[in-house]
Structure 1
Amino acid sequence: MCGRFTLSDPNDAMAALFRAQPDNDLPPVPQYNVCPTQSVPVVTAQAGGRRLQAMRWGFVPAWAKRLTEGPLIINARAETVAEKPAFREAIRARRCLLPVSGFYEWQAGPDGARLPWYFTRSDGQPMVFAALWQPWGGSNTVAMVTTAAGEGMAGVHDREPVILEPADWPLWLGEAGHGAARLMRASQAVLQAHRVGVAVNSNRAAGPELIAKIDA
């Protein structure tokens, strides 16, 4: 689930929002169809303060011999993330924030058609996913954390990303002590959605027309 998202906020605005030092190799914006394996902006907590840096979307376990070994891991389930060998250390020590502008989800339609919906925050603010990261092969990889869907996803999908509010960011990043597990829950009525055209079903599609509303 949540296999595509958008990035439209300028990198300097994101750095200011998170009070983070931006790296020089952040992905360009806007992007209207960010796909797994692409570079995405991630906020981490460092000894000298927060850092906004680029990571590969697709978590690679520490034991992997090759970047493409095993399945592509783009998310981790909140219910089992602390138990899975691939994530156990990362969920304790390498939690991060993944800011996006919105994300796509697909609903099963007649005759097996995949009908895309575009989700954003109802207050117009950037959306911030709970995520975890793993260094591998001289670079860093990241996966978002997902949970059972709340009311905002009703009828479209049974899972959704864990969406964090600004007050939760220090706890998820480990800056405010322990207890981050309680944040892994469905969003509290912050989502709004509209149907978009099937052009986004292609991972090669691009452009702002992908998020244009169509009649459902």
Structure 2
Amino acid sequence: MCGRMAMTLPHEAMVELFAATPANDLPEVPNYNVCPTVQIPVVTAEAGLRQYRPMRWGFIPKWYKKPNGGPLLINARAETIAEKPAFREACRARRCLVPCTGFYEWERDSDDKPLPWFVARSDGAPLVMAGIWQDWERDGERLTTCAVVTTEANDAMARIHHRIPVILTPDQWALWLGETGKGASTIMHAPPEDALHFDRVSTDVNSNRAKGAALIEPLAE
């Protein structure tokens, strides 16, 4: 799964990378401890144009009577995304890219203590995850929300956790956004074994209040 991430990439660089038009209300970066329910920048393709815009991380189904009216849906499983009532419409019509520096995942030691890892691309490039999004509105309140798509972990990730975000390469961005026709289901799989780099990091990040660049620094061996 993906339950926490780091976003340190300058908005100007991301706008250029994705050839997108930026919104005026983007969340502040860098943020080394991005938690669910906060605003994150994502890339969408609407009316033939790419937009770089903020969304609430935590997908809200249209039938929720309030934002916390049911389970917090920060991830959507690739294996069932086209069938689940909460996600199937968004999967077909509202897909997005979620760029970040990397994400955190936790393993458990022999005493069941959560040990955090920071996962980033091996080549140092931005890590771009597949996402879905939709607008939610009720009683005058309107939110644009998103979830990260996950799939079964590859062997490298499985040592830590059995799920992994669907990570897209630049040649897959247009297909996921629906700019080059159908076939997005063919790219919902784990990345190659050597695509990601894993670093054990401080347990400071176990607190959602922790801040600062030290959170992603590898622990000394």
- TM-score band, normalised by shorter chain: over 0.9
In 1, are the aligned partners of 2:205 and 2:215 still within 8 Å (CA)? yes
- Equivalent pair of 1:152/1:192 in contact (CA under 8 Å): no
Structure 1 CA distance for aligned equivalents of residues 67 and 162 of structure 2: 29
Aligned to 2:77: 77
Alignment of 1:17 onto 2:17: yes
Identity over aligned pairs, percent: 56
> 1:122 corresponds to which letter in structure 2?
S
Deviations 1:153-175 (A, max 9, x none): 13101100000000000000000
CA displacement at 1:48 relative to structure 2: 4.5
Decide whether the 8 Å contact of 2:2 with 2:148 is kept in 1. Answer: no
Matched, 1:194 2:199: yes
Q: Deviations over 1:30-85 (max 9, x none)?
A: 00000000000010001151000000000000111101100100000000000100
Displacement of 1:2 in angstroms is 1.7
2:119–2:197 Cα contact (<8 Å) kept: yes
The runs of 5 or more residues in structure 1 that have no matched partner are none
Q: Which residue identity does 1:206 align to in structure 2?
A: K
- Greater Cα shift, 90-99 or 45-54: 45-54
Q: How many residues are matched?
A: 216
Q: Please tell me whether the aligned partners of residues 118 and 198 of structure 2 are also in contact (alpha carbons under 8 angstroms).
A: yes
Q: Does the 8 Å CA contact 2:48/2:179 hold for their aligned counterparts? A: no
Q: Which runs of 4+ in 1 moved over 6 A?
A: none
CA deviation digits over 1:114-141, x for unaligned, max 9?
0000000000000000000010122210
Report SS of the residue matched to 2:111: helix
CA deviation after TM superposition for structure 1 residue 215, in Å: 3.9
Which position in structure 1 is the counterpart of 2:216?
211
How does the TM-score come out when normalised to structure 1?
0.98
1:40-189 to structure 2, matched below 5 A, reads 40-137=40-137, 138-188=142-192, 189=194
In structure 1, C-alpha distance between the alignment counterparts of 2:50 and 2:121, rounded to whole Å: 24
TM-score, normalization by structure 2: 0.96
State whether residues 7 and 34 of structure 1, in contact with CA within 8 Å, keep that contact through their aligned partners in structure 2.
yes
- Measured in 2, the distance between the counterparts of 1:213 and 1:56 equals 29
Which 10-residue stretch deviates more, 14-23 or 188-197? 188-197
CA RMSD of aligned residues (A): 0.9
Amino acid at match of 2:14: M
Task: Determine the C-alpha separation between the residues in 2 that align with 1:215 and 1:58.
Answer: 34
CA distance in 1, matches of 2:87, 2:9: 29
AA aligned to 2:38 is: Q
